[in-house]
Each structure stands twice: as C-alpha cells, then as structure tokens.
Amino acid sequence: MIREACVESFEEARLAEERGAERIELCSDLANDGLTPSKELMQQACSELKIQVMVMVRPRAGNFVHTAEEVVQMKSAIDEAKKASAAGLVFGLLTANNQIDEENTRLLAAYAQPLPVTFHKAIDELDDPVEGVRILKTIPGIKRILTSGGKATALEGQQTIREMMEVAGDQITILVAGKVFDSNVNEISRITGASELHGRRIVGELK
C-alpha cells in the first residue's frame, strides 16, 4: 500500500515522511483544496525528503475551468517543479459544461513529460466520473486519478471507485481520497481494492 500525505508546508512534509508516508502531495492553501506551492517550498521538499514529492499545479481557488492565461501560469509551475526535481505533477482541468478539458489536459500532460501526471479531484465534479476515466485513458502521461468516487468520502463513493478502477485497468492508478485517515486507511483499501490512498491525515494529524 502507498499512502500519499497531502501537505502544505515543509514541516508537515517532513513529519509525514517520519510517520511512514510513502509519498506526498505538496500544495499551498489547503483551505481552498490546494494551490501551487512556492518554488522555494518545491525545492526544499524535493531536495530534503527521501520520499516522492508530487507537486500541485493549480493557479487559483474556485472552479477548474482555466483560461489560456492560467494555462500559461500552469506551464510555468511545471517548469519550477521540474527544476526542483519533483517526482510528478497534480492537476485537473474541466470545460465550462463540466467535462474533462481534453485539449488543455493533453497539452499540459505533454508539457509535463517525462513527469507522470495525477489528474486530481476535479474528476469528482463530473456527472459520470467513470466516463472521465475513459477519456483520461486516451491522454498520454496521465498515470493516476485522485478521486472519492464523486462523493464526499471514499466510503460513500466506493461503488463508483470500484467501477473507475475496472475501467482504468493497468493503465491508470486510481488514487483513493475522501476522509481517508490513519484509522481507516486499511479498511478503505480493503473495501475498494485500492493500493494507493491519499489524505490530509493519512498518517495522523500533521499539526
């Protein structure tokens, strides 16, 4: 099992590593579901931690419908993550009619190469997250999808998560989120069949 801890400071990242997290998602402003961290934080985390660092690429809070100007900002964030030697990137883009933004996702996933991309919980905004998996399978570079199955918690979304995993097959890893704690991570892994799980408190409280 891989436990990915969601963190917004170097202190939290270091503590997550000490507590046994196998990977971190590095963000800023988790009160707004995570934005791009500063280049200084990227560099410190990537240089000083022994575990993998996945860098969030999200230029602002709010929805996941990004303008051409914001896509340029996301490219700049990808450049900084590469300079910092990040292990991968995390982003998600939707269209105004609440579909996967295939054009810009494809563009950014190509720009991110050779780093793997996790398409984040923007997928849970879709009416049919399972169909979202089918679309993301056609985009090279998308290696993971972060999801709670379109529900508030992984336990509530477990049926959809299982369906997403079936569609994803061996091509994309479904990274399960949604109130995944150190106290229930084993249960959620067993119920969903997921081998990679993600949470703010997946290795305990980091404050």
pLDDT tens track for 78-97: 999 999 999 999 999 999 99
- Find residue 181's DSSP bridge partners: 201
pLDDT score recorded for residue 11: 97
CA distance 69 to 191: 42
d(CA 47, CA 73): 23
In whole angstroms, how large is the CA radius of gyration of the chain? 16
User: pLDDT tens digits, residue range 115-152?
Assistant: 999 999 999 999 999 999 999 999 999 999 999 999 99
Return d(Cα 86, Cα 72) in angstroms, integer.
Answer: 19
Say yes or no to pLDDT of 207 above 80: no
Topology (CATH level 3) of domain 2-199: TIM Barrel (3.20.20)
- Angle at which helix 158-168 crosses helix 129-136, to 10 degrees, equals 20
What's this model's pTM, rounded to 2 decimal places?
0.96
pLDDT on residue 40:
98
User: What confidence tens digit (pLDDT) does each residue in 148-177 have?
Assistant: 999 999 999 999 999 999 999 999 999 999
The percentage of residues in the chain with a pLDDT greater than 70, rounded to a whole number, is 100
Contact 37, 50 (CB under 8 A): no
The tens digit of pLDDT for each residue in 21-72 reads 999 999 999 999 899 999 999 999 999 999 999 999 999 999 999 999 999 9
pLDDT in the model for residue 193: 95
Percentage of residues in the chain having pLDDT higher than 90: 98
Query: Which residues are within 8 A (CB) of 158 and not within 5 positions of it... i.e. 6 or more apart?
Result: 149, 188, 191, 192
Q: What is the pLDDT of residue 206?
A: 87
Q: In what helix (H) or strand (E) does residue 198 lie, and over which residues does it extend?
A: strand 196-199
Q: How far apart are CA 93 and CA 47, in angstroms?
A: 29
| pLDDT (0 to 100) of residue 98 | 93
